[in-house]
Amino acid sequence: MKRVLPLLCGFMLAPAAAHAVEAPQKGGTLRILVSSAVGTLDPQISYVGLTKFFETPVYDTLLTYPKFAGPGAQPVIPNLAVNVPLPEDNGLTYRLTLRNGIHFSNGQLLTLADVVASFRRIFAAGSPTAGPYYSAIKGADACLKDPAHCTLAEGIETDVATNTITFHLSRPDPEFLEHLAWFHASILPANTPAHDMGNTAPPGTGPYQITDYNPTTHMRFERNPYFHEWSHDAQPAGFPDHMEVTFGLEPESAVTAVENDQADLMYENVPLDRLGEVGSKYADQVHIFTPLLYYYATLNVNEPPFTSLKVRQALNYAVNRHAMVIYDGGSAVAYPQCQLLPEGTPGYERFCAYTAGASPQNPAPEWVKPDMEKARQLVQESGTKGMRVTIVTPSGGKSDNTALELRSVLENLGYKASVHSISPAVHFTFVQNSDNHVQISISGWNADYPSAASFLDTLFACSNFHLHSDNSPNMSGFCDPRIDDMMHHAAQLTLTDRAASNAMWAQADKALMAQAPAVPLVQTKRVVLVSKRTRNVIITLNDEILLSQLQVP
Amino acid sequence: MLMAALRRLGQTVFVLFGISALVFAVFFATPGADPTARIAGKNASPQTMQKVRQEYGFDRPLPVQYAIMMKKLFITQDLASYADRGELVVPEITRAAPVTVSLVCGAAVIWVVFSIAMGTLAAALKGTWVDRTLMMLGLVGISIPVFWLGQVANLITQNRYHDTWLFSWVPALGYVPLTQNPWGWFKALIIPWVVLAVLFIGVYSRVLRADLVALSGEDFIRTARAKGLSPSRILIRHGLRTAMVTFVSLFGMDFAQLVGGGALLTEVVFGLPGVGRLTYQALTNLDLPLIMATVMYSAVFVVLANAAVDMIYLLLDPRVRDAR
C-alpha cells in the first residue's frame, strides 16, 4: 500500500488536460500498440472488447450507440436504418427503413437481402449472442437448433418497394433495440460464408477496412473508398489515412514507446507502477474515462458458509473498499463500489447498504468505512466461524492483491481462508461451473451496453444459473423468484415508461444487495496514454476512444 | 550405421509421442480447461455450446481427438488455434522461427566468443586477480535473471537515456526482418543479443575454466609439457580442444532449447515475435493447438541437437571414436 500511494500524486495533482481545439486534420498514419492480439476478426463471432474497439469504424449495424459523449449518449440512434422504431403490438413488431446508397468496402450496394442474410448468419455462424440477444425473433429457436437451415422466414419481413425491414418477435424483448445496435448484428454482404471468418475481415460499410492481419504481429486499416458520411453521430468519417496496430509489446514497454513518440496510442491501461511517471510528466497525454466495469467478489450462495445471509452481509460490512481502491491504483483511477449497478447504467442510484452506520433498510449515500464489529457479530450469529474458505482468483496483477486483502478480512472474521490463484484464461469458466464448488471468487464485469439488466439480470437472475455448465454467468448461483419478478417487471417497463423502469431497476439493485450475493469492490477507470502529436480524443460510453476520430499530423 | 539412424529415429518418434500425449492429457485433465465455453463466448446458449462442441470435435473420445490433432499438426498441417479459428499454428511457427533463429544465433556468437576468451584467460592466469575477477563477473551474469536485465536495458536505452547521444540510435522495441532492412535488423537485435548472452557467458566461461584446470593434470598435457611445447600452445591446441567436448555438448543442448522457444523471456521483454513469445501467448490463452505445436517444435530441436552433439563428439575426441 505504501509503495502505491506516492505514485498516485501525479494524477491527483495533474489531471488530464484537454488539448486546445484545433482545426481538424486529415491524413497520416495512426500507430497503435496492443499487448496481444484479438483473435477472430469476424464481427458476428468475436466477443472481446478489443475487437469491438477496432471494428467500430469498420462495421455498421441498423441502429447504433451514439458516437458522441455526454448525458444524451445513452439511447441508441439510427445508423444504417433511418429511424429508431417504436415498438408495435406490445413490443412484438419493429419496423425500420434502410438507408439508400450505402456500399460495402468491396463496392457492393447494401440491400435488404444483406440485412436478412446477416441476421440468419448470426445463427448459422454460431454467434455467442445468438441465444441471449436474438432468440426473441420469430423462428430463432429453430435456427438455434438447426443453424444450417436457418431462414427466419417468419421473423424478418422485407418490402423492397419501401425499403423497409420488419422484425416479428415471438415474445417482447425490452432491449431489442440495443441488441440491434450490438456489433454481432453487423450488416455484412449476403454472400459472406456462414462460418467464422477467422483472420479475414469481411467487407464492412464503415470508413475503414482491415487490409492485413496477423494475430501475433500486426493489423492494418485503410480507408474504405466507398464510404460517405451519412450520419456523423452514428458513423463519423475518419481522420487518419491509415491505422497500424502492432501486437506484442507488454504495457510497460508500450508506455515507453508512446512517451518516445514511437507509437500514438496504447490500448492497455497504463500499468500501476507507471501511473506516477505519466501523471507527473505526461499528464496532458493521458485520458481517463469510466467504462461500465466493476470488480466484485462473487459469493456462492449454494456453498457454505455463504449459504448464510448473515455471512454474506458480514463480508460486505467488513471489506475495506478504500484498500481495494488503493490496490486498483488509487482514487484517481478507481472508487469504492457498494452496489451491483455501476455508475453510468440506467437505473443507477447511489447507495451503500453495508458501511459503518448503514443497513439494507437504511443505506448510507456512499461507502464510509468498514463496520468490523457488526460483521463479527453477524458471523457469530451464523455459527460458521472457523470454517475453511478458499478464494479463487485469476493469477497476476491486482487480483492477487485483492484476494490477499479478502483473505485477511475473512481471517479477521474468524475463518481459515486461503487463496487459489488460477490462470486468467480459465478462471472465468472455472468459477461459473457449479461442479467446481467455488465458494468465493474475484471477478470483473463489463456490460456490452448501458443496461441495468446486463448487470442485475445477467449476474443474478435464476435463468442465468446453469448447473454443471462452464457458461453460467450467475456465478453466485443466486435465485430469488421475488427479485426475478421485480427485474422482469423493470425490463418490461422499458417498452412503455423508461423512467419507471429505471426506478424499478434501482429497487432491484437494493433488493439484491439486501440478499448480498456478492461483495461489490471497486468501479475502475481506464487510463490511456496517447502520443504528443495525437489530437481529438473523443470518448464515448460504448466505444471508448473513437479510433476514427483521432488526428495525427 | 543404418540401424543406428533408425534407432535414433525410433527414439525421436517415441519422445515426441510421449511429450504430445502428456501435453494433451494434462490440458484435458485441468479443471476449467474445456475450451468449449471460451470459444462459444460468455453467456452463449446451450445450443451454441453444442454447435461449438460438434464443430471442434470436443464431443468425441479423447484418443480420437488426440489422433485428429496429431494428423492436423503433422500431416495436413491445418491445425487452427482455439483462440482464433483463422490462425493456423504451423504457418504461425514458420513465420516466428526466423525471429528466434536471428535472436539465438546472434546471442550464440557473442556468448561463444566471450566465454572462450574469458574461460581460457582465467585458466591461463589461474589464481590471479584476473582469474578471480572474470569468474566473479561470470557468476554475476549467471545470477541476473534475463527478464530483469532486459527490463533494465529497456529502461536505460528506451526510457531514461533514450534521448542522449549514447542511445538515440536504439530503435523502438520489436523486430525488423533481415531481408527488409539488414541494418535495422542488427540495431533491433543487438541489445537482446547481449542480454540473452550474458547468462551463457557466465556459465560457459566457468565451465571451460574448470575443464581446462582439470585437464592440466592429465597425462597427455604432461606429455606435451615434457615435449617442451609452449604453455599457450598446450593450453589452446591440447587443453582447449579437449575441454571443448563439454562446451560443445552444453552448447548443443542450450542452442536447441533456445531455438525451440527457450528464449521466451527475452522475446517477451523485447517484443520480438518469435517462437518463445508464441509459446508465451499460447500459455496465456491456454490455447492447446498452439501449445502443442510450440512444444513439438521445441522437442524436435532438442532431439536433433542431441544427435548433432553426438556427431561433433566424434570429431573432437578421438577416445570416443575409439570406443566405437
CATH number for A302:
3.10.105.10
Number of compact structural domains in chain A: 1
- Which residues from chain A sit within 8 angstroms of residue B162, using beta carbons? 256, 260
Cα end-to-end distance, chain B, whole Å:
11
pTM: 0.89
Contact between residue A351 and residue A342 where contact means Cβ atoms under 8 Å apart: no
Cβ contact (<8 Å) for B44 and A248?
no
- Helix (H), strand (E) at residue A53: helix A49-55
- Per residue in B150-205, pLDDT (tens digit) is 999 999 999 888 889 999 999 999 999 999 999 999 999 999 999 999 999 999 99
Residue A35: count of CB within 10 angstroms of its CB: 20
Which chain A residue has its CA at the smallest distance from B279's CA? A216
Instruction: Classify residue A278: in a domain, yes or no.
Output: no
Give B128 to chain A, closest Cα distance, Å.
Answer: 42
Instruction: Classify residue A55: in a domain, yes or no.
Output: no
Contact between residue A116 and residue A520 where contact means Cβ atoms under 8 Å apart: no
- Per residue in B270-296, pLDDT (tens digit) is 999 999 999 998 998 889 999 999 999
Contact between residue A389 and residue A417 where contact means Cβ atoms under 8 Å apart: yes
Residues of B numbered 209-238 whose beta carbons fall under 8 angstroms of chain A's beta carbons: which are they?
none
Q: Considering CB atoms only, which of B44, B269, B281 is closest to A471?
A: B44
Per-residue pLDDT at A20 = 46
Residue A494 sits at φ, ψ, to 5 deg, of -55, -35
- Which residues from chain B sit within 8 angstroms of residue A262, using beta carbons? 172
Instruction: Classify residue A203: in a domain, yes or no.
Output: no
Instruction: Classify residue A541: in a domain, yes or no.
Output: no
- Which residues from chain B sit within 8 angstroms of residue A201, using beta carbons? none
- Per residue in B55-100, pLDDT (tens digit) is 999 999 999 999 999 999 999 999 999 988 889 999 999 999 999 9
- Per residue in B22-54, pLDDT (tens digit) is 999 999 888 878 899 989 988 899 999 999 999
Burial of A393: CB neighbours in 10 Å, binned 0-12, 13-18, 19+: buried
Kindly tell me if the per-residue pLDDT of B15 is higher than 90. no
Instruction: Classify residue A333: in a domain, yes or no.
Output: yes
Q: Which domain holds residue A364?
A: 293-524
- Per residue in B226-283, pLDDT (tens digit) is 888 888 888 888 888 888 888 888 898 899 889 988 899 999 999 999 999 999 989 9
**Which residue do the cell numbers 479463487 mark?**
A392
Annotate B209-248 with b (16+ C-beta within 10 A) or e (fewer): bbbbbebbeeeebeebeeeeeeeeebbeebbbebbbbbbb
- Is A215 touching B (CB cutoff 8 A)? yes
- Is B45 touching A (CB cutoff 8 A)? yes
Per-residue pLDDT at B324 = 47
Instruction: Classify residue A367: in a domain, yes or no.
Output: yes
Per-residue pLDDT at B217 = 81
CATH architecture of B94-320: Orthogonal Bundle (1.10)
- Which residues from chain A sit within 8 angstroms of residue B271, using beta carbons? 248-250, 253
Per-residue pLDDT at B225 = 81
- Which residues from chain A sit within 8 angstroms of residue B286, using beta carbons? 423, 425-426
Cα end-to-end distance, chain A, whole Å:
41
The Cα-based distances of B119 to A333, B210, B236, B309, B317 in angstroms read 53, 8, 11, 21, 20
Residues of A numbered 25-54 whose beta carbons fall under 8 angstroms of chain B's beta carbons: which are they?
36-37, 39-41, 45, 47
- Is B97 touching A (CB cutoff 8 A)? no
Conformational region of residue A169, where left means phi above 0, alpha means psi within -120 to 50, and beta covers everything else: beta
C-alpha cell at A225: 473508398
How many contacts does A have with B, using Cβ atoms within 8 A?
159
Q: DSSP states of A419-457 as a string?
A: EEEE-HHHHHHHHH-GGG---EEEEEEE-SSS-HHHHHH
CATH 1.10.3720.10 occupies which residues in chain B? 94-320
Q: Which positions of chain A have pLDDT values less than 50?
A: 1-20
- Is B8 touching A (CB cutoff 8 A)? no
Asked whether the ipTM of the predicted complex exceeds the cut of 0.85, the reply is yes
DSSP A72: G
- Which residues from chain A sit within 8 angstroms of residue B277, using beta carbons? 216, 248
Which chain B residue has its CA at the smallest distance from A257's CA? B172
Cβ contact (<8 Å) for B173 and A458?
no
SS3 label, residue A470: coil
What gap in Å lies between CA A254 and CA A257, rounded to an integer?
5
Cβ contact (<8 Å) for A40 and B86?
yes
Annotate A357-392 with b (16+ C-beta within 10 A) or e (fewer): ebebeebbeebbebbbebbbebbeebebeebebbbb
